[in-house]
Amino acid sequence: MSFGRARFITGFLFAPILLYAVYVLYPYAQTAYYSVTDFSGFSPDFSYVGFGNYVELFGDDVFLKALGHNVVVLTVYPVVTILLALFFAFMLNVGGRGDKAGVRGVRGSSVYKFIFFFPQVLSIAIVAVIWRRVFQSNDGGLINSLLMELGLVERDKPLMFLAEGESVFPPITIGNFTFEAPVVLVCLILIAIWGGVGFYLVLFSAAMQSIPKDIFEAATLDGATRVQTFFRVTLPLLREHVSVAWVYLGIAALDFYALVVGMTPGPGGGGPNDASQVMSSYMMSNAFRPSRFDSFAFACAMGVSIAILTLLLAAVQLRVTRSRDKLEF
């Protein structure tokens, strides 16, 4: 019996562990290893160079620029997405007619949820095809042609959107870092928000529905308005969900690779003039760039940096937002 049990455990775990070790853990370890060498990606001859790649990384203008872009995304994207999602979730759940039955959800809330959530299941390629056209920088683009039709934009001066590398606010320089938000990056953030709001709306909405109705009833009896109820009752009870959302959005903000590759000009994306370059896109386009012989190792150092930053971010966010006492209904 015991022999059969051991054989069973081994048999069931063997294939999953093998696959995971070979295709996930081993590449992770390789990245970490190559990042301290001058490996070219092709030649089997390479040597240990210590942390040279990392030192160079933080002197690389484009990488710092990309890092700055990630920071901009990180400050704008999660906050706007969470606020919009909370707002709409609130509208859905307590925006209905408050007749006899008191406060209730709006009619057709599942239709709204169906529509809002849909972009979440679309692949990045579809999103890219659509939004490239929407933001197209001539009179063939959806927004440009709409604005021209309305007379808000002149025919010979279309808005550039994805081709515009100018920052929407004057660049802020702190030491080696320059923070700016090029128009193209803002466009990408808008698309990400367009895709993400529905997901977090559904998340928050489910959480709101799990709050017992008598809490709202009590608040209403005490004469609280809906807005008061939202800020004093609903929001505090959603704390845990908001913090989870924040962590996920933060991780997504440090990624952004697919959007950059799919939407922006230049080989491998990131254009114009690196105005939309983020860490991941710079890493991917660097790995096999002939501009330096050890570009692969250099890109590996970027990969490790992205991983460290992501882990740090998640740890910090969880620490900041973790609720001290968990409520059970």
Partner 1 sequence: MSHLATTEAPATPEPPAAPPRAASEAKPPKEEGRVFNVFSHGFLFLWGALVTIPLIWAVIQSFKTDTEIINDPLGLPEQWLWGAFGRAWTKGNIGEFFINTVVVLIGGVSLTMLLGSMAAYVLARYPFRGNRAVYWLFVAGLTMPIYLGILPLYLTVDKVAKGLGLTEVIGLSTHLGLILVYVAYSLPFTIFFLHAFFRTLPSSIAEAASVDGAGHVRLFFQVMMPMAKPGLIGIGIFNVIGQWNQFILPTVIMKDEDKRLLTQGLLELATNARYETDFARLFAGMTIAMLPILAVYLVFHRQVQAGLTGATLK
- Binder among 55, 79, 83, 142 for partner 1 (CB under 8 A): 142
145 binds partner 1 (CB under 8 A): yes
Residues 157-186 that bind partner 1 (CB under 8 A): none
- Binder among 36, 73, 76, 92 for partner 1 (CB under 8 A): 92
207 binds partner 1 (CB under 8 A): yes
Residues 259-318 that bind partner 1 (CB under 8 A): 261-262, 280, 283-284, 287, 296, 299-300, 302-304, 306-307, 310-311, 314
SS3 (DSSP) at 108: coil
Q: Which residues pair with 167 in a beta bridge?
A: 182
Closer residue to partner 1 in complex, CB, 144/167: 144
Cα(207)–Cα(199) distance, rounded to whole angstroms? Answer: 13
71 binds partner 1 (CB under 8 A): no
Q: CB 172 → partner 1: shortest distance, Å?
A: 27
Closer residue to partner 1 in complex, CB, 185/297: 297
87 binds partner 1 (CB under 8 A): yes
Per-residue exposure over 85-95, b if at least 16 CB sit within 10 Å of its own CB, e if not: bbebbbbbbbb
Cα(164)–Cα(257) distance, rounded to whole angstroms? Answer: 19
Per DSSP (E only), the strands in the chain are 172-174, 177-179
Closer residue to partner 1 in complex, CB, 64/124: 124
* Residue 257 CB neighbours (<10 A): 19
Residues 122-141 that bind partner 1 (CB under 8 A): 122-126, 128-134, 139-141
248 binds partner 1 (CB under 8 A): yes
Q: Which residues contact 320 (CB under 8 A, 6 or more apart)?
A: 243
- Binder among 67, 254, 260, 275 for partner 1 (CB under 8 A): 254
Closer residue to partner 1 in complex, CB, 77/116: 116
Alpha helices, H only, 174-293: 183-209, 213-221, 226-229, 235-237, 239-253, 257-263, 279-286
